[in-house]
Structure 1
Amino acid sequence: MKKKFLSLFFVLLSLFAITFGEAPLVSTIDLDETTTPRQIGLAMTSNPQTNININWTTLNTSLTNPKVLVWEKGTDESTAKTFCANVEKREVINSTIPGVKEKNFYSATIYNLKPGTEYNYRVGVEEAMSEVKSFKTAQVSNEEFTFLYFADPQMSGAHAKGWHAIQDIAKEMYPNAEFIYIAGDLTNTANDEGQWESFFNQPGNAQYNTKFDGNLIQELPVAATMGNHDGANAGIGGITSHFTWDSEVEGVPLTYAFSYGPARFIILNTQYNVLDSQQQFAQTEFLKKEVAEAKALGQWTIVGWHKPIYTGANHLDDSDVVASRKYWSSVLARLGVDVVLSGHDHVMSRGFVKEDGTKEDVTIKVYDRIYAAPQPDHAPLHYVATTGSTLKFYAPITSNEWIDENDPISPDFGFLDLNSSLPAGHPLNPLGPCTNDDLDGVDPNYIRYPTFVAVTISPNQIKLEAYFTGFDSNTNTILKDTFLYDSLTVQRDGVSKGIEYTTPQLKRLAVSLTTNKFTKIDQSAKINVRGKDYLENELNLSSFNVSYKTDSEEFINVSNDGVVTVKKMPQENKTVKVWVEASNKEKTVRSDKLTITLEPASK
């Protein structure tokens, strides 16, 4: 009844605004609604046993002294502890609530909580507190638990309706789930507040859903990674304004790790300055540290990021994905990472992939749609979970011509066990359905399937159950009841320790020049070169034959120790290249080419 009243209220409000034009906020929106805390979100911290972050917004931007009241469930609110909150007034873009041009954004860290304990809480200001809500802190023990994994809700128009419905379904099926993981792209446009309003199903927004609550996102702690649709302005005004997550790698937002039961979750950012070598190195060092600590404790290691390096759809040949695959495939395999949970490609796919891009063929069929596998060494499970709404479902890539010799990938999806973008009946999609939305309007039976994955983890087993629900967002209707599309159980006898380095293995050469601009004959500069192994450790090159190369011996000379000297100046400005090669009996590694500019002095 309350939802129907609010819906009617805001319909009338919208008609008023259309008829009479935009009016001041307090004139067009009920005062109680402007002060009511909305878009309440719980964010995972690096210590979920004792801490949690809480965010919310209000339409009223004059409220002061915000706070959070927290008390143990089963005790009286009079025992509540008070935590002060931060507040920031921000202009917002594209709110679909009439008259809204700015909001207050609030954030608070709740700390010194008891592990494995249920708490009640309220947020707001003295004169306008929220209704009572609850959360539960993580256990310290290694007991089995379940979390819900969504990829790319990517709010956009009516497609938000599928997001609301799939949350309600997941909540009903897994009432004891302990947190949510979202693999990026929470909205379609990073700072579009109207999309954030539909993400939280905020009353009064254009997509407000009275049929499906879509409030699970406000009841469980959320861990998320940054997607390409989240990354504008480092997420400010969008993902990092609506949630507060840690950033443990300097200069890289949304990089954090946390232990939960028998697992260690390591959230990396493949979107923010993705090809920056310094940031790659910093994230690699962070990953190495977290994996080492987790393995010492016997924990599963689960990496969360947005863009998959192994997937079943057509982002596979994107230049940044190829570069990321060339870098991260070996790192993940050699560290012995167990599982990589991704989004971005709007496809359901999985496979155990070795560092050379081939499949570790260990999966066996138990029954239709039910599979099991022993945990392989040095072949992480790369898993992509379609999408949490109905916005789009990508087609498979149909050619292998883009694959170069240095790309660690097998042709024709040879690295996968499952790929929902392929036609039903294909060996990688034996029972279907096919999720490729190129079929929409072509196949009269085509349906879009928002997806969630329930992941249950115990000390010796991970079970991933992917559920599809046929949904029409335009009519807000379930077309096909929720069904199990795929179940995979991974079992282990011990902890993969990662590859022990007995012989250094050179992966790349990092090169630089003391100067790259030359203006006269005999001017010189030194090429500095450093060897890097597969985990970005410094590698001694004494066992390699190091040689220095150029594409322009007419103009420059490069000595055996890497000194570049100009021997002839051109008549006009000219660029030349230099690079380094290191070789032994097993391999030759070439560096990137450095550009030198020859600029003759003006006459």
Structure 2
Amino acid sequence: MEEKMKRSKNLLRKGAALAAMSTVLVSQVPLINAFAYGEADVSQSTFKQDTDNSADFQNWLSNVWQGGEKAYAQTENVALTPGSDAADLNFSWYSAGKGTPAVKVWKDGSKSSAKVVTGNAEAISAENWQGKSYSAANKVNIADYFEENTQYHYQYTDNYTGDDSIWSAEYDYTTKATDKFSVILTGDPQVGASGSSSDYSANDASVARDAYNWNKTMQQALKTCPDASFLLSAGDQINQSGATKDNDKKTRESEYAGYLYPSVFRSLPIAATIGNHDMAGSDYSAHFNNPNSEDKLGSTAAGSDFYFNYGDVLFISLNSNNRNQEEHRTFMNKAVASNPDAKWKVVIFHSDIYGSGQPHADTDAATNRIVFAPLMDEFNIDICLTGHDHTFSRSYQILDGNVVDYDISSGSVTNPDGTLYITTGSGSGSKYYNLLNYTPYYIAERTNACLPSFSTIDFSSGSLTIKTYDYNGNKYADDFTINKTNTDMSVDEVINNAEALINGTEVNYTEDSMNSLKDALSALKQIKAAYTTASDPMIADITTNYGKDTDRVSGYGSVKNAADKSTSESGKSVNRFKKGVSTLLDKTIYIQAQEGAQAQLADYKSENAPKIDAKALEDAKTAVVNAINALTVQDDNDTVTEPSAPAEVSSADNSSTDNSSTDNGKAPQTGDNMLARVYACMAAAAAGIGAVIVGIRKKEDICER
């Protein structure tokens, strides 16, 4: 009943607003790419040398990293992670001994009434190159405690024994608002990737260099966005991908000392997704205490998918190292059910499935596109955040591989269909990649200016804005905003609502009004069918064979068998599935990308790209909604009293300033609009009012209690 009420209420307000929105859409916008922030040949980058030659770096190296506090040995630094929602907070840290871990937390000025929460110590055996050994990964979760916009202090202990416990130093944690807030986004700090002759040693220069720049990035990020609620990391926190040899494990722990070094992390929670360099070691899950991961869906050795809610925003982190689409779908269903009315749905994973970096975007990442892109469409994800490319890119709105050609010349779009894909650059400058030597049709902007970078994302009930900067605080890419109003509905939502009414039995509608709805729905479905990718046989193939000897994929999206690989004109093997294997790749790569000398495609025209006429799509959606609003009830002369809609019904959805389809806040009446009356009946029934008789009707069971 509640679902029916929501559906009826929402549909009443769509028609006029959707009609108004369609006037700002242009059906044949050329796919023009903006390169305002530059492309670079990474072989010419002097960033590594510039760091090594910096007096500030050398001073820090001698007095902080290797001397003084010996930061390079501190793999045990505490990491905060988001809890299930804003009232929760999770903690994790290493210790030499195994006891009963605990966190003591209190509001500013109220230490005498501090709350002590104990947790669990997981047995580990870890060592870094500096000779420190650890036997426990301590986890503490504090739930339903934190209030908005409040300053707290906390301490932690490896072994809680009551009043004689030995506590850490005091740290601050200040909560933010949840109705309007900001987060920081980074990708691929990959500490240790810059390389040095001293790798596999206590004085590993690559870890030092990358930790130094990573710290600078995070310091600038907090300066640029001082009220950030948490950090979203798109993966590859560290560089060492192997985790079987003792020396590799020691390197990983030394690299984690570099990743966790920034002092901002004692007060800024980290939501770190699993990258391909993180995936092999259990040290990832030992260092981070991620929420809602207990089902272990999407698992590899490092960990699994997780999600959390912050106000009206649902954040979903997927482990893209796991190619079992069905596991991720099960997990996403659970995540969405935790906040079904979320205003924004954000997904973050490592693989750059719609990126623009030369090593990955149209090769191994394309394999992962087969698995993950359909999930973004299925769950109507607003923005998908990825890494792996070590270059920054922003896509157009992408729906089933198609660019939805909204006019985005203003740097914004309102109530769009499709998903916006962001690929982050390097968070530390440890490694850069060149851009593809052609511009994928789906890319709206890209840059690889060879400087560490970060983004901020501002959320409110009506908008989402992403801004990107380098580690000096200068703009690194254009700002972009998605606006959303209370009239927002995706194509699938419009279709599902219309089909529910056509197939419903609660009300008898006139044949003419129902036929109008059926005709409008048929037209919308035809548009959808024209841009929908045919069933992709590779989805089931990858999912079914994942992890088996019959798996046609190896590593992080590499094509295992030579017979499956694409081949250039010169006969060189290309690390992606050949044309004809995947319908999605045929559509999103082989319409545009060619191998070898044809890569830049001088004769390529944007009109050949997979593209959706946004105006036609919005007009068709509007026609369906208008037809729904125009449904009239069959008159069989069995007339009874019709009550007016209760006041609370017309005001229930009027918190928004958008009243385009209401008349002074009253429910619209389009012809003999039965929807309004059905909703009034449902509202009355839900409120416990006695049997309500609705309008001119034939069935006596329209109103159910």
Q: Shorter chain as normaliser: what TM range? A: 0.5 to 0.7
The answer to which structure has the higher helix fraction is: 2
**Alpha-carbon shift at residue 458 of structure 1 (Å):** 0.4
Partner of 1:39, secondary structure, is coil
Structure 2 Cα separation of the partners of residues 308 and 334 of structure 1: 19
Partner of 1:489, secondary structure, is strand
1:72 aligned residue (90, 107, 110): 107
AA partner of residue 267 (structure 2): E
**Residues 231 and 270, structure 2, Cα contact 8 Å, conserved in 1:** yes
Structure 1 Cα separation of the partners of residues 446 and 175 of structure 2: 36
Deviations 1:282-308 (A, max 9, x none): 2113324544664x4151111111112
Partner of 1:373, secondary structure, is strand
Structure 2 Cα separation of the partners of residues 91 and 168 of structure 1: 32
Structure 1 pair 492–113 and aligned structure 2 pair: CA distance change class (3 A): same
Structure 2 Cα separation of the partners of residues 39 and 347 of structure 1: 29
AA partner of residue 441 (structure 2): G
**Alpha-carbon shift at residue 73 of structure 1 (Å):** 2.2
**Residues 377 and 400, structure 2, Cα contact 8 Å, conserved in 1:** no
**Alpha-carbon shift at residue 40 of structure 1 (Å):** 1.0
**Residues 70 and 122, structure 1, Cα contact 8 Å, conserved in 2:** yes
AA partner of residue 78 (structure 2): I
Structure 2 Cα separation of the partners of residues 177 and 382 of structure 1: 21
2:182 aligned residue (131, 139, 146): 146
Question: Does the alignment pair 1:342 with 2:382?
Answer: no
Equivalent residue, structure 1, for 2:169: 131
- Aligned pairs for 1:294-373 (under 5 A) are 294=339, 296-316=340-360, 320-366=364-410, 371-373=411-413
Equivalent residue, structure 1, for 2:320: 270
AA partner of residue 185 (structure 1): D
Structure 1 pair 78–185 and aligned structure 2 pair: CA distance change class (3 A): same
Equivalent residue, structure 2, for 1:240: 285
2:255 aligned residue (189, 195, 204): 195
1:52 aligned residue (84, 89, 103): 89
Equivalent residue, structure 2, for 1:455: 457
Structure 1 pair 359–226 and aligned structure 2 pair: CA distance change class (3 A): same
**Alpha-carbon shift at residue 172 of structure 1 (Å):** 1.7
Equivalent residue, structure 2, for 1:225: 273
Structure 1 pair 394–110 and aligned structure 2 pair: CA distance change class (3 A): same
Equivalent residue, structure 1, for 2:263: 215
Partner of 1:449, secondary structure, is coil
Structure 1 pair 460–70 and aligned structure 2 pair: CA distance change class (3 A): same
AA partner of residue 175 (structure 1): P
Percent sequence identity over aligned pairs: 24
Partner of 2:404, secondary structure, is coil
The number of aligned residues is 412
AA partner of residue 457 (structure 2): V
Partner of 2:319, secondary structure, is coil
Equivalent residue, structure 2, for 1:83: 117
TM-score (normalised: structure 2): 0.53
Partner of 1:324, secondary structure, is helix
Equivalent residue, structure 1, for 2:429: 390
- Aligned pairs for 1:177-576 (under 5 A) are 177-189=228-240, 191=249, 192-201=252-261, 214-233=262-281, 236-237=282-283, 239-246=284-291, 247=293, 249-251=295-297, 252=299, 253-271=303-321, 273-274=322-323, 279-291=324-336, 294=339, 296-316=340-360, 320-366=364-410, 371-377=411-417, 379-398=418-437, 412-421=439-448, 435=449, 448-469=450-471, 482-494=474-486, 495-497=488-490, 499=492, 500=495, 507-508=535-536
TM-score (normalised: structure 1): 0.62
**Alpha-carbon shift at residue 46 of structure 1 (Å):** 2.0
Partner of 2:276, secondary structure, is coil
Structure 1 Cα separation of the partners of residues 308 and 66 of structure 2: 43
**Alpha-carbon shift at residue 189 of structure 1 (Å):** 1.9
Question: Does the alignment pair 1:43 with 2:76?
Answer: no
Deviations 1:133-181 (A, max 9, x none): 1224565x5x210111111111112122110001111112221111111
Partner of 1:394, secondary structure, is coil
Structure 1 Cα separation of the partners of residues 354 and 485 of structure 2: 26
Structure 2 Cα separation of the partners of residues 217 and 289 of structure 1: 29
Structure 1 pair 37–135 and aligned structure 2 pair: CA distance change class (3 A): farther
**Residues 145 and 177, structure 1, Cα contact 8 Å, conserved in 2:** yes
Partner of 2:137, secondary structure, is strand
Consecutive unaligned residues in structure 1, runs of 5 or more: 15-28, 202-213, 400-411, 422-434, 436-447, 471-480, 513-580, 582-603
Structure 1 pair 120–11 and aligned structure 2 pair: CA distance change class (3 A): closer
**Alpha-carbon shift at residue 10 of structure 1 (Å):** 8.0
Deviations 1:198-246 (A, max 9, x none): 1122xxxxxxxxxxxx22222111112111011004xx12x11111113
Structure 2 Cα separation of the partners of residues 13 and 336 of structure 1: 51
Equivalent residue, structure 1, for 2:10: none
Structure 1 pair 165–507 and aligned structure 2 pair: CA distance change class (3 A): same
Partner of 2:216, secondary structure, is helix
Structure 2 Cα separation of the partners of residues 10 and 185 of structure 1: 22
**Alpha-carbon shift at residue 319 of structure 1 (Å):** 5.1
**Alpha-carbon shift at residue 132 of structure 1 (Å):** 1.1
Question: Does the alignment pair 1:173 with 2:175?
Answer: no
AA partner of residue 81 (structure 2): A
Structure 2 Cα separation of the partners of residues 337 and 42 of structure 1: 26
Structure 1 pair 464–231 and aligned structure 2 pair: CA distance change class (3 A): same
Structure 1 Cα separation of the partners of residues 67 and 270 of structure 2: 34
Structure 1 pair 10–285 and aligned structure 2 pair: CA distance change class (3 A): closer
Structure 2 Cα separation of the partners of residues 467 and 106 of structure 1: 35
Structure 1 pair 498–54 and aligned structure 2 pair: CA distance change class (3 A): farther
Q: Which has the higher contact order (CA 8 A, sep 6+)?
A: 2
